[in-house]
A and B are shown apart, each in its own frame.
Chain A
Amino acid sequence: MDFQGLLEGFLTVMRPENILYVVFGGFLGTIVGMLPGLGPATAIAVLIPITFGMDPISALILMATIYYGAMYGGSLSSILINTPGDGSAVAATFDGYQMAKQGRAGQAIAITAIGSLIGGAFAVFGFILLAEPLASFALQFGPAEYFLLMLFTLSAVVSLSMGNIIKGFISMGIGLIISTVGIDLQSGVDRFTFDNVLLSDGIDFLVVIIGIYAVGEILYNYLTINNPIDQKTKYGKVWISKQDWNDSKWAMFRASPIGFLIGILPGAGGSIASLMSYTTEKQLSKNPEKFGKGAIEGLAAPETANNSAAVGAFVPLLTMGIPGSGTTAVMLGALIMLGVKPGPLLFENDPNVVWSLINALFFGNIFLFLINIFMVGVFVKVLDIPARVLLPIILILAFIGAYTMNYVIVDFYILLIFGIVGLIMKVLDFPIAPLILAVIVGSEMEQNFRKSIVASKGSMDIFFSSPIAITLVCLIVLSLAYPIYMSYRQKKRLKSQ
Chain B
Amino acid sequence: MTIARLIVPSICILIGVVYLLMTISLPDARLGDADAPKYFPMMVAIFFIVMSIVYFIKEYLAHYDVSEDIKKVFKKDTLILIIATLVFSLIYTLIFERLGYLISTILFLGALLFLINKNKWITNILVSVLFSIGTWYVFTQLLAVSLP
A residues engaging B (CB < 8 A)? Answer: 49-50, 52-53, 166-167, 169-170, 173-174, 176-177, 180, 184, 186-192, 218-219, 222-226, 386, 388-389, 391-393, 395-397, 399-400, 403-404, 407, 409, 412-413, 416, 419-420, 423-424, 426-429, 445-446, 449-450, 453-454
Contact of A409 among B28, B72, B78, B96 (CB under 8 A): B96
- Residues of B with C-beta under 8 A to A423: 73, 82
Contact B37 A189 (CB under 8 A): yes
Closest Cβ of chain A to B93, distance in Å, is: 4
**Pair A393/B131 contact, Cβ less than 8 Å:** yes
A-B contacts besides A187-B37, A189-B27, A393-B109, 16 pairs, CB < 8 Å = A49-B143, A50-B143, A167-B55, A170-B48, A170-B51, A189-B29, A190-B27, A223-B69, A223-B72, A225-B81, A386-B117, A389-B127, A392-B109, A396-B108, A407-B146, A416-B86
State whether A226 and B77 are in contact (beta carbons under 8 Å apart), knowing that A187-B37, A392-B116 are contacts in the complex.
yes
8 closest Cβ pairs, A-B complex: A187-B29, A173-B48, A392-B112, A388-B117, A446-B40, A412-B93, A223-B72, A184-B37
**A186 surroundings in chain B (CB, below 8 A):** 29, 32, 36-37
Pair A392/B37 contact, Cβ less than 8 Å: no
A-B contacts, 11 of them at CB < 8 A, read: A53-B145, A173-B47, A173-B48, A187-B30, A188-B30, A190-B27, A191-B41, A396-B135, A409-B97, A412-B92, A428-B69
Chain B interface, >50% SS class: helix
Structural contact, B26 and A392, CB atoms closer than 8 A: no
- Check B122 for interface membership: any CB of A closer than 8 A: no
* Smallest beta-carbon distance B38→chain A, Å: 9
Interface residues of B in 98-117 (CB under 8 A from A): 105, 108-109, 112-113, 116-117
* Interchain nearest-CB distance for A25 vs B (Å): 14
Report whether A389 and B145 are in contact in the complex, using a CB–CB cutoff of 8 Å: no
> What residues of B have a CB within 8 angstroms of the CB of A192 in the complex?
19, 22, 41
| B107 smallest CB distance to A (angstroms) | 11
Given contacts A187-B37, A449-B40, contact A392 B96 (CB under 8 A): no
Instruction: Tell me if A170 and B73 are in contact (CB < 8 A).
Output: no
B39 CB–A CB distance under 8 Å: yes
CB B20 to nearest CB in A, in angstroms, measures 10
Contacts of A426 in B (CB 8 A): 69
Contact in complex: B92, A399 (CB < 8 Å): yes
Enumerate chain B residues within 8 angstroms of A449, measured Cβ to Cβ: 39-40
B78 contacts A222, C-beta separation under 8 Å: yes
Is B73 touching A223 in the complex (CB atoms < 8 A)?
yes
Instruction: Tell me the minimal C-beta distance from B140 to chain A in angstroms.
Output: 11
Chain A: minimal CB distance from B129 (Å): 13
Query: In the docked arrangement, what's the CA distance between A412 and B86, Å?
Result: 11
CA distance A189 to B89 in the complex (A): 34
Q: With the chains together, A412 CA to B145 CA distance in Å?
A: 17
Given contacts A49-B143, A53-B145, contact A450 B36 (CB under 8 A): yes
Task: Name the contact of A393 in the complex, choosing from B89, B127, B147 (C-beta under 8 A).
Answer: B127
Chain A nearest Cβ from B72, distance in angstroms = 4
Q: Provide the residues of chain A in CB contact with B146, threshold 8 Å.
A: 407
Q: Does B31 contact A (CB under 8 A)?
A: yes
- In Å, the complex CA distance between A427 and B147 comes to 34
* Cβ B109 vs Cβ A191 within 8 A: no
B147 A403 Cβ-Cβ under 8 A: yes
Residues on B with C-beta less than 8 A from A407 are 146
Please state if A420 and B86 are interface contacts (CB–CB under 8 Å).
yes
In the bound complex, CA of A66 to CA of B105 (Å): 25
A388 to B40, CA, bound (A): 44
A166→B100 CA distance, assembly (Å):
45
- Contact yes or no, A191 B117, CB < 8 A: no
User: What is the CB-to-nearest-CB distance from A56 to chain B, in angstroms, rounded to a whole number?
Assistant: 15
Residue of B nearest to A447 (CB): B40
B112 touches A395 (CB 8 A): yes
What is the bound-complex CA distance between A37 and B30, given in angstroms? Answer: 48
State whether the Cβ of B61 lies closer than 8 Å to any Cβ in chain A: no
B47 lies within 8 A of A169 (CB): yes
What chain B residues lie within 8 Å of A222 (beta carbons)? 78, 81-82, 85, 116
In whole angstroms, how far apart are the Cα atoms of A177 and B86 in the complex?
25
Query: B73 to A427, Cβ gap below 8 A?
Result: yes
Asked if B6 CB lies within 8 Å of chain A CBs, one says no
Query: Contact at B67–A429, with CB atoms within 8 Å?
Result: yes
C-alpha spacing A449/B145, complex, angstroms: 38
A166 touches B143 (CB 8 A): no
The CA-CA distance from A224 to B81 in the complex, in Å, is: 12
Q: Mark B1-26, 1 if CB is under 8 A from A, else 0.
A: 00000001000100110010010001
User: Closest approach, in angstroms, between the C-beta of A155 and any C-beta of chain B?
Assistant: 11
A166 in contact with B58 (CB, 8 Å): yes
Closest to B69 in A: A427
Q: List, in ascending order, chain B residues with CB within 8 A of A397's CB.
A: 135
* Cβ-based interface call for B139 (8 A): yes
Q: CA A211 – CA B19 in complex, angstroms?
A: 22
Which B residue's beta carbon lies closest to that of A450?
A: B36
Output the least CB separation between B71 and chain A (Å). Answer: 10
Q: Which of A173, A176, A446 has the most CB of B within 10 A?
A: A173
